[in-house]
Chains A and B, each alone.
Chain A
Amino acid sequence: MHWELEITLFFFLIVTALVALESRNLLTAVVSLSVFSFLSALLYAAMGAVDVGFTEAVVGGGVSGVLFVVTIFKTSRKSKD
């Protein structure tokens, strides 16, 4: 089947999650989180749940990133921890 594609997607999923956790710059974390959402949307589509993948791509990759960026510009840009 297409397990090679899914293995690649899972690998980049873990990489983007670690980048979003560990980066000090919050804008980097938000962009990495959007990439995480889009990769998980591709995974849902590969599993056959196209509706769930569509929702995840639109909400996670589109609107929530914009809301996070607006919140960062209203508050502070660097992470404290």
Chain B
Amino acid sequence: MMRGDDDAIISLVARTVSPFIMIFALYVIFHGHYSPGGGFQGGTMLAAALILVRLAAGNDLAQLQFPRSWGTPLGSAGVLIYWGTGFVAMMGGGRFLDYAFLPLAGAAPQRRSLGILFIEIGVGLAVCGILTAIYDDLLEGRPHD
């Protein structure tokens, strides 16, 4: 099942569909201000696209797309983006996670909108990395005793 040299059609379809899922996931992340969606949903869809290629093309071939050592650092980077936004707002003179004090152009509502966008990107990166890492750990971890 997890080797991927079984069926060419499954591999071809999965590799064709996966970029479209990623585009829609990025749309969900960046359009979360105006429509249902946001960082968590978009990040999960990104992870679903990566896992689809892993299921269809095999775990060894999919390392060319997203190596197994990237998952946990990507998740940590997302959490760091979130906390860093809060600390930058604190350095701007406000409270923790008060986006009106971010050093950006525009009035306070526009600054808060941009702050929400940074938060969503951080959440999306974290969820995508962690879900892919959990899949890799489940697949390549040691068998049960």
Contact = CB atoms under 8 A, between A and B. Distances in A.
Determine the interface band of chain A, counting residues with CB < 8 A from chain B. Answer: 10 to 19
A62 B44 contact: yes
A50 interface: yes
Contacts of A54: 36-37, 41
A55 B135 CA distance: 19
Contact of B48 (A55, A58, A73, A75): A58
B48 A74 contact: no
Contacts, number: 43
B139 interface: yes
B144 A50 contact: no
Nearest to A56: B41
A77 B45 CA distance: 27
B23 interface: no
Interface of A: 50-51, 54-55, 58-59, 62-63, 66-67, 70-71, 73-75
Interface of B: 1-2, 36-38, 40-41, 44-45, 47-48, 51, 55, 131, 134-135, 138-139, 141, 143-144
Is chain A's interface secondary structure helix, strand, loop, or mixed overall? helix
B47 to A, nearest CB: 6
Contacts of B131: 63
B40 A70 contact: no
B37 A66 contact: no
Given A50-B36, A73-B2, A58 B139 contact: no
A70 B139 contact: yes
B44 A66 contact: no
A63 B40 contact: no
Contacts of B55: 66
B69 to A, nearest CB: 19
A67 B138 CA distance: 8
